[in-house]
Amino acid sequence: MNPMLNIAIRAARKAGNVIAKNYERRDDIKTAVKGNNDYVTNVDKEAEAAIIEVIKTAYPEHTIITEESGALKGRDNDIQWVIDPLDGTTNFIKGFPHFSVSIAIRVKGRTEVGVVYDPIRNELFTAVRGAGAKLNEMRLRIEAKRDLQGAILATGFPFKQNKYMPLQFEVMQGLIEQAADFRRSGSAALDLCYVAANRVDGYFEIGLKAWDCAAGDLIVREAGGLVTDFNGGHTYLTAGHIVAASSRIVKEILNKIQPCLGAEFKN
């Protein structure tokens, strides 16, 4: 096994144990508001600390970029661990059992390892660049669905940036002319993994951060899918808008999205 993948899995499982333990005694959860519709709990911070401890023990020189603590720069800034200790915090707070730990390892600006762990279902999604993607020990391969007709699409609402809500609904209105239905489950990392596992046929979202999607991005691509921004480019980790599916469905989703975009989304 890739040695950094092994450490990423160990860190994800340790954080997952923290999350699962606290999920069973939710009266102890302490919640604070970070911004508009944006929350953090003591469990996010405890899970993040567990991940950092595992990484720092194995690779003390590496840089870690986290949702809660920001950038923890190491001597080797060429290797960056991009982590979201609890993707789906609102679900966790509400007791909705759909959230995950997301860890990506980027080397000189390219994602080499991706791990997404669902501690409630004990589902571990992993990918190593050039070596494919797995769910636990099962290989993942995206089905080459012919087109958008009848597709099930995952999405997330830009609830932290309400100005994009009209665009969200305009895009959905266009897509539903062909797609069969939408799923909005509250964890971008798992949405991407569900594309890789053929549980949904495609995914799009506005307003993401790199830690939301860096690991899931690699998992989709290693399962044979395509990931782009709304312009069909590769800026999604910084631009925050993303489409993921088989190549044919990505093209058809983009054909529906692009007529809706204002100037701020143009390259």
Residue closest to 212 by CA, chosen among 231, 197, 196, 190? 190
pLDDT mean over 175-189? 96
Q: What is the pLDDT of residue 53?
A: 96
Q: Of 111, 140, 169, which residue is a domain's last?
A: 140
Locate 114 and state its tokens: 């991706």
Q: Of 140, 160, 182, which residue is a domain's last?
A: 140
Q: What is the pLDDT of residue 262?
A: 83
178 domain residue, yes or no: yes
Residues 129 and 192 in one domain: no
Q: What is the pLDDT of residue 181?
A: 97
Residues 131 and 11 in one domain: yes
Q: What is the pLDDT of residue 121?
A: 97
Residues 160 and 254 in one domain: yes
pLDDT of 37 higher than 70: no
- Does residue 87 have a known ligand-binding role? yes
Q: What is the pLDDT of residue 62?
A: 96
Residues 15 and 60 in one domain: yes
- Does residue 217 have a known ligand-binding role? no
Residues 8 and 127 in one domain: yes
DSSP string covering 39-76: EEEHHHHHHHHHHHHHHHHH-TTEEEEETTTEEE--SE
92 domain residue, yes or no: yes
Q: What percent of the chain has pLDDT over 90?
A: 78
Residues 30 and 123 in one domain: yes
Q: What is the pLDDT of residue 162?
A: 86
Domain assignment of residue 26, given as a range: 3-140
- Does residue 46 have a known ligand-binding role? no
Residues 133 and 252 in one domain: no
Q: Of 119, 140, 161, which residue is a domain's last?
A: 140
Q: 47-93, pLDDT tens digit by residue?
A: 999 999 999 999 999 999 987 777 888 888 899 999 999 999 999 98
CATH code at position 253:
3.40.190.80
CATH code at position 25:
3.30.540.10
254 domain residue, yes or no: yes
Q: What is the pLDDT of residue 36?
A: 64
147 domain residue, yes or no: no
Residues 244 and 120 in one domain: no
Residues 9 and 134 in one domain: yes
Q: Which residue has the tokens 């549980």?
A: 199
Number of domains in the chain: 2
Q: State whether residue 240 is helix, strand or coil.
A: coil
- Does residue 86 have a known ligand-binding role? yes
When pLDDT is cut at 50, 70 and 90, the band that residue 39 belongs to is: low
Residues 134 and 169 in one domain: no
Say how many CA atoms lie within 13 Å of 238 toward its Cβ: 5
What rounded mean pLDDT belongs to the chain?
92
Angle between helices 247-257 and 165-175 (to 10 degrees): 120
146 domain residue, yes or no: no
145 domain residue, yes or no: no
pLDDT of 35 higher than 80: no
Residues 121 and 173 in one domain: no
pLDDT mean over 118-141? 97
- Does residue 212 have a known ligand-binding role? yes
Residues 133 and 16 in one domain: yes
Q: Which residue has the higher pLDDT, 78 or 267?
A: 78
